[in-house]
Amino acid sequence: MPGQGVSSMFNYGMGYGIYKGIFAALDIPFQEVPPVKWKREFSLDKDKSKSIQAAKQLFPKEAINLLKSKDGRSEALLLAEYGRRKYKGV
């Protein structure tokens, strides 16, 4: 991730590895989906405000929690919705 420091990237990698290890140990299947793939489902690009707007439309009860300062929440909801659509056949 451009702009991130060495320490930040190390911590990210450690966390990522821990989750992969937990999934493997518990025999939980998972599939990695690159952002470009799930964002295409919602006609999104790198503009975080578009992600927030899309999440508010799909999850109106969560709109109060979907703020620019916490844009990760919007993208987490959209990624979960992508998974529901693609892997649950809904």
Characterise 2 by phi-psi region: left (phi > 0), alpha (psi -120 to 50), beta (else): beta
Say if residue 6 is in the same domain as residue 18: yes
pLDDT tier, 12 (very low <50, low <70, confident <90, very high otherwise): confident
Given this model, what pLDDT does residue 90 score?
A: 60
Give tens-digit pLDDT for 74-87. 999 999 999 999 88
Say if residue 22 is in the same domain as residue 40: no
Give tens-digit pLDDT for 36-73. 999 999 999 988 899 999 999 999 999 888 988 776 89
pTM metric for this prediction: 0.74
Say if residue 81 is in the same domain as residue 52: yes
Q: Are 37 and 29 in contact (CB under 8 A)?
A: no
Say if residue 58 is in the same domain as residue 68: yes
* Domain span holding position 15: 1-30
Say if residue 41 is in the same domain as residue 63: yes
Q: Is residue 26 over pLDDT 80?
A: yes
* Residues ≥6 apart with Cβ < 8 Å to 38: 78, 79, 82
Exposure of 7 by Cβ count < 10 A (0-12 exposed, 13-18 middle, 19+ buried)? exposed
